[in-house]
Chain A
């Protein structure tokens, strides 16, 4: 092995790379099947896009974390600017718009906001002196930093992305060492707010919540997604209906089968076994991320790595809970598997940054490698 493989390639974090390649490969298989056994329109672009983002992630891994730490405020400012631009364009176009069409590529600033927000918060908490960590001054600047992009995303409106951003930020604050009582108090406050929030919701939003609680009440309407997704997963059984044999996805009973509900389409054809393999791969990916965080040397690296892992985690958690009927239907794709560039880009950026932190840790003589 050492004979053939050049050192630079051998040194790549292959373990995490195999995981993401396997996940993207599963996505490709599903997209190929969803198109009725055709590389177009989804499977091939998915593969090309993944290859590009993987290269980008590897490139990112060669940049030292220090550089991200020092320049993240510029990235933050850039994101805010982009979000404002999107909002302005959306206003001009007369509707909700979260895309910025730059001709060649279309980017979704709210997606970019997630890793940038994690780095910004990591940098902020890296600067907070340990003595101050239990004080108000450790909270409000973070909340302010979080509030600006969150509000801009909310008015797009993109409730799902905003929620994921806030959840990841809370995760970082928790890891930064803010007093536990604040989180418990916050959780209690949110719990108390639920009935009030429900009463403030639009009727169609309330209906969505109720249908989530009992999807079979409206099997052809808003509960249709959840019902059909469960049918796809449940009818797959232990070993699935076989590749290219998923009736739920092929006959279009499963909506959004190439994006949000790709896990259901995959599970239909590959069964419980296939689905568990996918869940295990995601879990391994997250475990790697958390390990990178725990092993990292500096406070910034630790918090950044943990925050980026949480970002990936919330994507996976919300999507899988949604397709299995454990969470309401919100438009969150399954990263690396779903068709679509933005979530994949976000996750690959996160992975690139994690690999960069990992590389840094492994180069550190005091720790003597480690990584995995």
Chain B
């Protein structure tokens, strides 16, 4: 192996090598200095903006000031949803060090119920980061102060003076106004993780108007820019941008009327809609029973929720918009209008012998009415007349009139949802069942049975159209919504229908007991009874059967007859007939519009009989329900097999 000759190092060689190597090291040091200078230049110049922003976001915390929510007021400016000052306590999950200890301490100070504690723990487990978990609201100042002074020992606890939504009318406006609540995770994500939604005490609309017009009610949040240390200690306030309260929302509702209607429904379950029949403004949209939105805004307890879900009167359902009923005979004036427009002579007579034979099937009437012209057929609610007319002229003309008057229509309204039911016709049946339309379908549909289902608001709209002779559609927000339009129908035909409907109440009709208590103001209307159980099952849904099989009572109406101002509809579920259950409600509610004192005088004895006002009765029901539940829980569990 050959090796390249290398002279042995000498003293001089070592010195020379030292100089060379020292130079190398010096160059290395210079190179490092250059790298450091370059790096520093890059960080401080090229990345300056980024790091400046980061330094600011370290230093400056923007604490949002939630805006005060706009009021919801009635047509006269009376608040239906307002705000009141509120002391509350929240937990900030990220800041809690020892959740058990903090919760125990809060439980002691605020005397939280075990149920509340359980809910807090659950919320805490599901909470996202800084999203606050509400502990308690509506605290007295003393309790609030007691928490506040203990703050240094309670990391993660955030006491706050906020504003709480207040609904003066309580359950009477429950379904209409909806309620507000703490945003959930989905709502937070849906708003691009807006930090406002994480602000303690901030609530958003969850139902009804509160939800639909959320953005208008919300306002603009203010912000306090504060400088804080790494440990979160506040150094100074930099600038405060005041919040802008949400604008008030004026509705078309008459709060007094709404409340009266809700109270008048009493212990029944049902809906009452009143419209200004000339422009479609909704004056009342009561659906009872309902939840108290005040209770929902506080975060409803599980037992309250369970109670409401189990209630057969369905307090969670908005019966004005989301309940569908067979309209029964309330459609007869509309059907008559369709016949008039089709050229039927109103004096044509059909003789009622208690039914109508179609092939080998007899369609029954409620009585043997004898010879019926249109006027009397409406007043006496004779099925036979309408069976015969529908058979003779076909159902299509009636279906198209029904749609023109708003039945089966989804209204352009600020509501969370509406069920708009069915006005059937041949095309619909073909689509739905792939079957041909039959004469018996026509006969069923013309008396508002069979496939026909509508919601109470549609009935009220129909009534308003008949009353005004104009195409009106419901409007809920003052100054907004569809404008009334003229029909191409003969005004004289409307007049004829109105007279017949007046006869129902004021003449020899089915609702004679529900005349208005004024000599000069007459109400026109039409009763209806919607079968819950098919007629073929033998018995009608009358007094003798279980509540859930009883017929619904319906009534459509308008007043005054000579110069209609108001129109509406009342549905009383399982009320066993329109004249008995629904028409008296309509009478009293219309009375309220013309003479409040008189209407209140009529209501007071009724409420005494029912056992108090809505709030009192709801409270009693809750107590009873909880007692029953406690008794069930206390009962010994069934012995297990060994």
Contact = CB atoms under 8 A, between A and B. Distances in A.
A binds B: yes
Interface of A: 130-131, 133-134, 171, 174-177, 228, 230-238, 247-248, 251-253, 267, 271-272, 275-276, 279-280, 282-283, 286-287, 290, 293-294, 299, 302-303, 306, 310, 313, 317, 320-321, 324-326
Nearest to B27: A290
Given A174-B25, A177-B17, A248-B58, A233 B9 contact: no
B44 A267 contact: yes
Contacts of A302: 15, 18, 22
A-B residue pairs, 9 tightest by C-beta: A234-B51, A235-B55, A272-B44, A252-B230, A251-B229, A283-B33, A130-B9, A235-B52, A235-B51
A286 B22 CA distance: 12
A237 B230 contact: no
Given A283-B30, A299-B14, A324 B58 contact: no
Contacts of B45: 237-238, 272
Interface in B34-72: 35-37, 39-41, 43-45, 47-48, 50-52, 54-56, 58-59
Interface string B215-232: 000000000000111110
A26 B39 CA distance: 21
A287 B26 contact: yes
Given A247-B58, A247-B59, A252-B231, A320 B8 contact: no
A275 B55 CA distance: 18
Contacts of B10: 130
Given A130-B14, A299-B14, A231 B9 contact: no
Nearest to A130: B9
Contact of B36 (A287, A303, A321): A321
A280 to B, nearest CB: 8
A175 B18 contact: yes
Contact of A306 (B9, B22, B50, B231): B22
Interface in B193-236: 227-231, 235
A39 B9 CA distance: 56
Contacts of A286: 26, 29
Nearest to A305: B22
Interface in B579-624: none
B8 A234 contact: no
A131 B8 contact: yes
B14 A230 contact: no
Contacts of B30: 283, 287
A310 B28 CA distance: 11
B21 interface: yes
A102 B36 CA distance: 39
- Looking at chain A's contact residues, is the secondary structure mostly helix, strand, loop, or mixed? helix
Contacts of A280: 33
Given A234-B47, A251-B228, 8 more contacts: A232-B55, A234-B43, A235-B55, A238-B48, A252-B231, A279-B36, A302-B15, A326-B35
- Looking at chain B's contact residues, is the secondary structure mostly helix, strand, loop, or mixed? helix
A130 B18 CA distance: 12
B13 interface: yes
B347 interface: no
B11 interface: yes
Contacts of A276: 37, 40-41
Contacts of B14: 130, 133, 176-177, 299
Contacts of B427: none
B15 to A, nearest CB: 8
B60 to A, nearest CB: 9
A303 B54 CA distance: 46
Contact of A238 (B44, B50, B51): B44
B58 A175 contact: no
Interface in B227-247: 227-231, 235
Interface residues of B, number: 44
A253 B22 contact: no
B19 interface: yes
Contacts of B229: 251-253
Given A174-B21, A230-B43, A321-B36, A290 B227 contact: no
A303 B15 CA distance: 10
A231 B50 CA distance: 8
Contacts of A321: 36
Contact of A313 (B13, B29, B227): B29
Contacts of B227: 247, 251
Contacts of A320: 36
A231 B51 contact: yes
Contacts of B47: 234
Given A133-B14, A252-B230, A253-B59, A231 B37 contact: no
A275 B44 contact: yes
A252 B229 CA distance: 6
Nearest to B26: A290
A130 B43 contact: no
B32 interface: yes
B1 to A, nearest CB: 16
B18 to A, nearest CB: 6
Contacts of A272: 40-41, 44-45
14 contacts: A130-B10, A174-B25, A231-B54, A235-B48, A251-B228, A252-B229, A253-B58, A253-B59, A272-B45, A275-B44, A276-B41, A286-B26, A287-B26, A326-B39
B44 to A, nearest CB: 4
B52 A234 contact: yes
B37 A237 contact: no
